[in-house]
Structure 1
Amino acid sequence: MKKTLKTLLVTTGLLGLSFGLAALKPTTAKAAEKLPAQTTKELKDKGTLTIGLEGTFAPYSYRKDGKLTGFEVELGKKIAKEMGLKAKFVPTKWDGLIAGVDTGKFDIVLNNVTITKERQEKYLFSKPYIYSHFALITKKNTNLTKLSQIKGQKIAAGTGTDNALVAKKYKADVVPSSDFTTSLDLIKQDRAKGAINSMSAWYAYKKDHSTKGLKATDVSSEEDPAKIGALMAKKNTSLQKSVNKALDKLRKDGQLEKLSKKYVGGDITK
């Protein structure tokens, strides 16, 4: 009887352990299904979404009290979370960002990168998460308010940026600028007649800085808003699908719009 009872207890214990393991299996399986195996293979580091950005371009990515923050910083964290990953940010100068994708330095770039046909020939993009309106920034006392007027004028724009491409398209004399603040300084010092950037960057800058004597004109009637997406290597098709899935979720539940309103003061995601 004792032997039978002992056997029964051991059997019951094993059954209980089996049930416990069985209860854990669905959760583990579900977690594994959250990110396709192929996507995991395409990541630079397992369990991490490595993100390239400048970290000097408010309101998208910048430092506040020494801490990296901004629209694209929070967006990167949310995308990574939806994918079951940890976000790792690698601040890099603009001219090294796209090259960083080529060398595998990071998985994606979140840095207000416009989706263009030329770039799509070499890289993959996620679905757009921003629709950025171009702005022509000038002194208030100037009559320069249209892109059609900048031909031959000195216009500040970041080297290799979409702003510079627009300036060249309208035959301006492009003055290289390293960041938004420098562009405004060039205008104030009469070293440039104006600058091309985004309306959202202008609004964000105005929150904490004086723009006395300057004005920004929305030129979307001449140049369509730029579609902004996450840039990644051409070969990483599974990663693209996973990032798009995360963005769809963030858009559907309103988180994308909330981020836009928090950092820009309006919805620039549509």
Structure 2
Amino acid sequence: MMRIGSSIKRIAITLGLVVTGLVLTACSSNSSSSKSGYQADLKQSKQLTIGLEGTYAPYSYRKDGKLTGFEVDLGKAVAKKMKLKANFVPTKWDSLIAGLGSDKYDVVLNNIAETPERKKSYIFSTPYIYSRYALISKAGDKSIQKLSDVKGKKLAEGTGTNNEAQAKKLGAKTVPSGDFTTTLALIRQGRVQGTINAREAWFAYAKTNSTKGLAYHKVSDSQAEPVKISAMFNQKDTKLKAKFNQVLQQLRKDGTLTKLSQKYFGADITEK
């Protein structure tokens, strides 16, 4: 009788463990299903964590201490469509892309162009800006007026940027610069002869700052093709990228992209 009783107890315990396991599995399944699709790629639940510099007007910068700019408003608009809260993480350019690789944020919105080198480690959304170059030099310097003139010249450029890549491609010597305002100061001081930069950055700067001592040279599409600016994601976050593209298309169709572009740049730079 004792053996029978012991066997019954063991069976009851075993059944209890099986039932408990089934309940835990069901709970786990329900938890996983609540984060299906692109939400499973998010670093924080119900948040779209966005990496940017916050020092490059008019893309992202601070006005009266508050983060604002084209890519800030774009990030908010995308997050809203996704029913998420936009969480911005301002990061210096030198460590911005590395921060994405270490899962510091979900996406980078920072006037970034898709390049063969970056494609080895990251994936990109469809373009939301078609950025054109500008050549800026010191006023009165007749030796640098078009892109072909920069060969052998010393230019201030952001490390790792498409501007720096373009300058090096054309044979210029580059000097690292952390932001656009610093770059212009280096030109005024004569420490460099110029910079290849985004025309949109120049337009935004000229709205509220004096351009005395500087010369702006328009770069035609025949000199350099427009740069396609996209959002950047980790390679594994394919579902998040797909959702971002879907929302971006909606914002293009409803006119949001055009309105934001007109607001910050005075022109529509979201079309080819």
TM-score by length of 2: 0.85
Using the TM superposition, give the Cα deviation of residue 197 of structure 1 relative to its aligned residue in structure 2, in angstroms. 0.8
Using the TM superposition, give the Cα deviation of residue 36 of structure 1 relative to its aligned residue in structure 2, in angstroms. 7.8
Q: For residues 182 and 213 of structure 1, what CA distance do their matches in structure 2 show?
A: 14
> 2:80 aligns to what?
81
Query: Mapping of 1:70-219 within 5 angstroms?
Result: 70-143=69-142, 144-219=144-219
> 1:13 aligns to what?
none
Q: For residues 184 and 101 of structure 2, what CA distance do their matches in structure 1 show?
A: 32
Using the TM superposition, give the Cα deviation of residue 148 of structure 1 relative to its aligned residue in structure 2, in angstroms. 1.1
Q: Share of identical aligned residues, percent? A: 57
Deviations 1:53-82 (A, max 9, x none): 000000000000000000000000000011
The DSSP-based 3-state class of the residue aligned with 1:51 is: strand
Deviations 1:80-118 (A, max 9, x none): 011111000000001111111111000000000011222
Query: Mapping of 1:24-63 within 5 angstroms?
Result: 37-63=36-62
Structure 2: gaps spanning 5 or more residues = 1-32
Q: For residues 62 and 131 of structure 2, what CA distance do their matches in structure 1 show?
A: 22
TM-score by length of 1: 0.85
Structure 1: gaps spanning 5 or more residues = 1-32
Deviations 1:235-267 (A, max 9, x none): 111001100011000000100010000001111
Alignment-mate amino acid for residue 162 of structure 2: D
Q: For residues 248 and 35 of structure 2, what CA distance do their matches in structure 1 show?
A: 16
> 2:65 aligns to what?
66
- Counting matched residue pairs gives 237
Using the TM superposition, give the Cα deviation of residue 175 of structure 1 relative to its aligned residue in structure 2, in angstroms. 1.2
Q: For residues 63 and 195 of structure 1, what CA distance do their matches in structure 2 show?
A: 23
Once superposed, what is the RMSD of the aligned Cα atoms?
A: 1.4
Deviations 1:211-246 (A, max 9, x none): 012122222321111100000101111001100011
The answer to whether the 8 A contact 1:133-1:226 is kept is yes
Q: For residues 229 and 202 of structure 1, what CA distance do their matches in structure 2 show?
A: 20
Q: For residues 261 and 215 of structure 1, what CA distance do their matches in structure 2 show?
A: 24
The DSSP-based 3-state class of the residue aligned with 1:72 is: helix
Using the TM superposition, give the Cα deviation of residue 37 of structure 1 relative to its aligned residue in structure 2, in angstroms. 1.6
CA separation of 1:36 and 1:247: change in aligned 2, threshold 3 A: farther
Structure 1's consecutive aligned runs of 4 or more residues displaced over 3 angstroms after TM superposition are none
Deviations 1:185-226 (A, max 9, x none): 111111011111100000000011000121222223211111
The answer to whether the 8 A contact 2:138-2:190 is kept is no
Q: For residues 161 and 195 of structure 2, what CA distance do their matches in structure 1 show?
A: 12
Query: Mapping of 1:186-265 within 5 angstroms?
Result: 186-219=186-219, 220-265=221-266
